[in-house]
Structure formats: structure tokens, C-alpha cells
A = this chain, B = another copy of it.
Amino acid sequence: MERTIKGVCDGENGEGVRNCHCVVALSGGADSTALLLILHYLRQRLGLSLSALHVDHGLRPESAAEARAAVTFCHALGIPLAVHTLTVDELAAVWRVGTEEAGRKARYDLLAAALPSPAADWICTGHHLGDLAEDVLMRLVRGCGWPALGGMRLCDPARRILRPLLLTEKDRLEAFLATLGVSWTEDPSNASDTYLRNRMRHGVIPLLTAENPGFLDQVRDLWQLAHIDADFWETRTAATLSAAPASPSHVEGEASAPHDAAHGAESIRLPKTTLTGLHQAERLRLFKEVLRRMGEGQARAETLLALDAAWVAGRGGTRFMFAGCKTATVRRGDIIFSGGPPAEDTP
């Protein structure tokens, strides 16, 4: 874990935690407790300032006692702690999502709000190698391209999230705490198979680990390869897009196609000249990057492939629908991505 923390400190993705503030998401489990302690021990060397945030989800009778334990622990370390109490069931109803998703979203909202300077400081979470393995499997199940299949990022500068323990086994964190005589709480909901993540942890991962006791090492290698490829494709698509301006602008020269006006300022055009000569692998990454720049919502591989097939065949007219109300249409060899809901064609 030292190497990972050092990697982050030395500037994972060109950034680091040195001389900034870290807000640690402290559940009281082994992972976040170990993370807070490690950062506490490193704070002087790294010039860090630290605070913690504990969220009482109000879903279990023990949660109030766990919040008090977090207060005691942070008080002993001299780390400021904020405790927030949520009623996750209500949020889930309001947001129309499951309780797992509502808790996650509310937690990250609170963490982001707790950053003293949101553009420079970091939210630190205790995600470890076991979490990464679950994430890879969940991505495999729901359908995920490459390099996204390699799992969550160690450092997400846009969301200001750091996961310094992402490549560390949970066993090592527990051993570290045991050596120090520090106790932690086991969230009983971790044992429940209500949540997809837990079903991966209890059902699938033990089967895969039985086949290869080094399965988690393979996940770590896969993550590293994905991390390298992500950088390759990000660099490449950024260079292609900056060389050939697929700039977010009005669709020009389309006066004869009045139904295009609705695309307005939210359209991005990938001109034929940019697309021609690119390998299919590059075109697909370019589509993904354009869609990513247009907002949230994961593009389905199937739709990306269908859009590409239409472009190759020079087949205009079909409007391809992507998550987040984004669309794409082939027109005269260009591809026009549009951000809003699809415009109604005038009769």
C-alpha cells in the first residue's frame, strides 16, 4: 500500500495529495479506518491536512453507536469529523433509485460539499482490491468496453476522488489494524445478498478464487493494463479532436436541413475528414469521447458499433439513441452528435 500511496503522492495522473486537504469517507469499517490511520501517519511527511466525514444512513439500529465510535476515534487522533444523518429510504423514493444507489449518491454529495477548496482538495475513500474485483465483475455483467472493464480509477481528478488503497488486499488492511490494536466495525449489510456488490463478493469471487488463488493479483494486473490503455486512448482521441475541430458549435452549412436547427449549440460534428483513415478501434473511442464530453450516461457498445456500421456504409437517416438523451446521426459522411432530446422532424 505504501507504493500506491506514494504513487498518488508523486502525482498519479499528474496530480498529488501533497500539501492539500483530504476528506476521508469514514464508515468505521476496516478499509476506511486503515485509510484514515495511514493518512494520519503520513500527514506530516506529505504536508496534508485531514478531516473525516461519517454518514449515518439510519438503516440499522447499530448506526448511532457506530457514529459515536467514529467521533471517539477521530477525537483521539485529533482529526475533525463531521457526522451526517441521512434517511436513505426517503432519498431513494425521491430520486427513484435503490437504497444502495441513494446512499452512495448522498454520501458523495456530502463529501464533495465538505471539500474546503473543491478544485484542489481530495475526497479519499477506502476502496480496496476486493472492491476493485467486484467492480470488474459488475462491469463485465452489465456490459462495458475496454479500458473501462478494468475497473474504477485510482484517481478521478474531475470528481476529486482518490482511492489510495485500491490495489491493496483487504487482508493486509485488517492485519495492519490488528497489529496496532485498532478495532473496526463490520457493517452487517455487507453480509446481506440484497446488493449486487455483495452477491459478487459472496457468490462469484469465491468461485473464481477457488480456481486461481492469485485471482486478485490478476485483477490488479488487468487494472494496470486498463489504466495504461486508458491513457493511450485519452491522449489519442484528444489529439484527433483538437487537430480536427469537432468543436461544440452550431451545425454549419445545414440551411437546407431545417430540422437540424434543433441541435443548436449542443451539437458536435465529427467531420468525414477526421473519420476517414481512422481504424475502427479509433473511431469507436472517438465516439465515446464525444459522448462523454456531452454529459453523463454510458454509451452502449452495441449502439456504438451500429453507428459505426452506418457510417461505414454511408447510411444516413437513422438516429442512434444514447443514454443521457444524446443522439447521433450520419449525414453526408459526417456524424452529428446532439445533446438534447431528439428534435421532432418537421413534416
Which stretch from A4-12, A20-28, A199-207, A316-324 is at the chain B interface? A199-207
Contact B208 A204 (CB under 8 A): yes
Query: Is residue A266 within 8 Å, beta carbon to beta carbon, of the partner chain?
Result: no
Contact B145 A215 (CB under 8 A): no
Main secondary structure of the interface of A (DSSP, over half): helix
A residues whose Cβ falls under 8 Å from a Cβ of B = 136-138, 140-147, 149, 196, 199, 203-204, 207-208, 211-212, 214-215, 217-218, 221-222, 224-226, 228-229, 231-232, 235, 279-282, 284, 300-302, 305
Chain B residue nearest to A230 in the complex (CB):
B281
Q: Given the complex, which residues of B lie within 8 Å of A224, measured CB to CB?
A: 301, 305
Given contacts A207-B204, A301-B222, contact A281 B228 (CB under 8 A): yes
| Min CB–CB distance A209 → chain B (angstroms) | 9
B residues within 8 A CB of A146?
A: 146-147, 149, 222, 225-226, 229
* Docked-complex contact A143 and B222, CB < 8 angstroms: yes
B141 x A212 contact (CB < 8 A): yes
CA A51 – CA B75 in complex, angstroms?
Answer: 79
CA A228 to CA B284, docked complex, whole Å: 10
For A210, give the chain B residue with the smallest CB separation. B199
- Does B207 contact A203, Cβ atoms closer than 8 Å? yes
In the assembled complex, the Cα of A154 lies from the Cα of B228 at a distance in Å of 27
- Nearest CB of chain B from residue A152's CB, rounded to whole Å: 17
CB distance from A12 to the nearest CB of B (A): 15
CB distance from A38 to the nearest CB of B (A): 24
Partner of A143, one of B204, B218, B302: B218
Complex interface: chain B residues within 8 A of A217 (CB)? 143, 302
Task: Please report the C-alpha to C-alpha distance between residue A146 and residue B214 in the assembled complex, in whole angstroms.
Answer: 19
Q: Is B305 in contact with A212, judged by CB distance below 8 angstroms?
A: no
Nearest Cβ on chain B to A297's Cβ, whole angstroms: 17
- Give CA–CA (A203, B211) in the complex, Å: 12
Question: In the assembled complex, which residues on chain B have CB atoms less than 8 Å from the CB atom of A280?
Answer: 228, 231-232
B208 with A141: CB separation less than 8 A: yes
Taken together as a complex, chains A and B put the C-alpha atoms of A141 and B68 apart, in Å, by 41
Report how far A232 CA is from B300 CA in the complex, Å: 21
Partner of A279, one of B140, B141, B231, B301: B231
Q: Is the pair B207, A281 in contact by a Cβ cutoff of 8 Å?
A: no
In the complex, the answer to whether A281 meets B231 with C-beta atoms within 8 Å is yes
- CB-CB under 8 A from A142, the residues of chain B are 212, 218
Chain B residue numbers with a CB within 8 Å of A214 are 143
In angstroms, Cα B149 to Cα A208, docked, is 15
Chain B residues near A144 (CB, 8 Å)?
A: 218, 222
Residue of B nearest to A145 (CB): B225
- Min CB distance A326 to B, Å, is 19
